[in-house]
Amino acid sequence: MTATGPRNAPDAPDATHAVNAVNVVDVVDVVDVVTLGESMVAFQPSRPGRLADVPSFDRGIGGAESNVACALAAAGHTARWIGRVGADGFGDHLVETIGSYGVDVSRVRRDPDRPTGVYFRTAGDRSGDAHEVAYYRAGSAASAMSVDTVGLDAVRAGRVLHLTGITAALSADCLGLLRELTAARPGRPLVSFDVNHRPRLWTDGDGPRILRELARGADLVFVGEDEAADVWGLDGPDAVRAAIPEPEVLVVKQGAHGATLFHRDRVHGDRVHGDRVHGDRVQEDSVLHVPAPRVDVVAAVGAGDAFAAGFLSATLRGLPARDRLRHGHLTAAAALTVPGDLAVPPTRDHADRLAALDDTAWGRLRLGPGWTQAPAAPEEVRTP
């Protein structure tokens, strides 16, 4: 699947305020979305069982930020993934595979001294007690990303810059890079931040504090309700919003129950600095909950990245809040109904048709394997 440029992805002046703001020198390089982070070669078992018992593995790729870039490119947006990989065969595989989705990988840097990260995992749901994952990413090329080793002009040359908390945990230099990118700067792109807490990466106990700091510096934040409870001890969407009041848009993902969006309109002035707003008149939050459709889950992997991609796609198109959440749910459903992290998203027309359903029809929606390939809505929807 490839995408060579934007298809029906017009500028959206009525979308979130910063989506069209960009401060770059090379205008030709401006894309819809830039993502930055580590992508790794993923080895998935050829059959169920313990890692010790699996005789062979199938090779794939894994990386939250590159997943989002691939999904957005497949949906018709221009997307750039920026990362750092080793000067090795695994690095070649990552760059070639991500590029095959239509993602701009021209700014990926190769490190001759550090390897590309890899990991092995067992089959099945990652949340199960029997699930195993073995990471070999310590000292990887990606952990050497910093303000000095990444081209900041290319990173900021997008209408949206999408980051995750995973990158901040890789090294002190990576954390410094994310702090630079989430700092208030005139003309910065809209900064999207997915908390993406990975407890095994935060060995010093600083994860909760740092992730909250980075989230407060972003314009758009994604966080799971269960994730917020684990990281910050927060109970429910309202508590999450109270702890992270600064972002204009906060999306609290609630799994099969749906997602809740908090949106604060702001007119005039600068971004939030700490707990104060300088020169702005801030309106009260508008709050919207949209239930998720029922999904016949094949594998609960990649859904969070897919949700972010669907929501960002709808944001870039200037769609209303309800449809942004519905597009997030639909793109997540595409990932949930395939075995791997990456799935072919529904076509734009297909997703628009489903997102436009009335509340009753949306509530009856049930999506199973293969639904994204159905030629018409009635053929991929099964109702009880």
pLDDT digits (tens, 9 = 90+) for 230-260: 999 999 999 999 999 999 999 999 999 999 9
With a cut of 90, say whether residue 26 has pLDDT above it. Answer: no
With a cut of 70, say whether residue 217 has pLDDT above it. Answer: yes
With a cut of 60, say whether residue 23 has pLDDT above it. Answer: no
pLDDT digits (tens, 9 = 90+) for 152-186: 999 999 999 999 999 999 999 999 999 999 999 99
SS3 (DSSP) at 40:
strand
Which band of pLDDT confidence, cut at 50, 70 and 90, is reported for residue 266? low
pLDDT of residue 123: 67
pLDDT of residue 383: 36
Q: How far apart, in whole angstroms, are the C-alpha atoms of residue 78 and residue 6?
A: 5
| Residues 172 and 192 sit within 8 Å (Cβ to Cβ) | no
pTM: 0.86
Catalytic position from the list 104, 111, 219, 305:
305
- H/E run at residue 74: helix 64-74
| Residues 251 and 261 sit within 8 Å (Cβ to Cβ) | yes
pLDDT of residue 204: 86
Over residues 7-34, mean pLDDT: 49
AA identity, residue 239: A
Find the range with the poorest average confidence among 14-28, 69-83, 239-253, 259-273.
14-28
Which band of pLDDT confidence, cut at 50, 70 and 90, is reported for residue 66? very high
Q: Nearest to residue 142, comparing CAs of 99, 181, 177? A: 177
pLDDT digits (tens, 9 = 90+) for 109-159: 999 999 999 999 886 555 556 678 889 999 999 999 999 999 999 999 999
Q: What is the DSSP string of 295-325?
A: E--S--SSHHHHHHHHHHHHHHTT--HHHHH
Task: Please state, for a pLDDT cut of 90, what percent of the chain lies above it.
Answer: 72
| Residues 290 and 322 sit within 8 Å (Cβ to Cβ) | yes
With a cut of 70, say whether residue 57 has pLDDT above it. Answer: yes
pLDDT of residue 126: 55
pLDDT digits (tens, 9 = 90+) for 31-41: 999 999 999 99
With a cut of 60, say whether residue 381 has pLDDT above it. Answer: no
pLDDT digits (tens, 9 = 90+) for 269-325: 444 333 334 445 556 889 999 999 999 998 888 899 999 999 999 999 999 999 999
- H/E run at residue 176: helix 172-182
The overall average pLDDT reported for the chain is 86
Q: Token pair 């993934």 is at which residue?
A: 81
Examine the residue annotation and report whether 32 is marked as an active-site residue of this protein. no
Over residues 42-67, mean pLDDT: 91
Task: Please state, for a pLDDT cut of 70, what percent of the chain lies above it.
Answer: 83
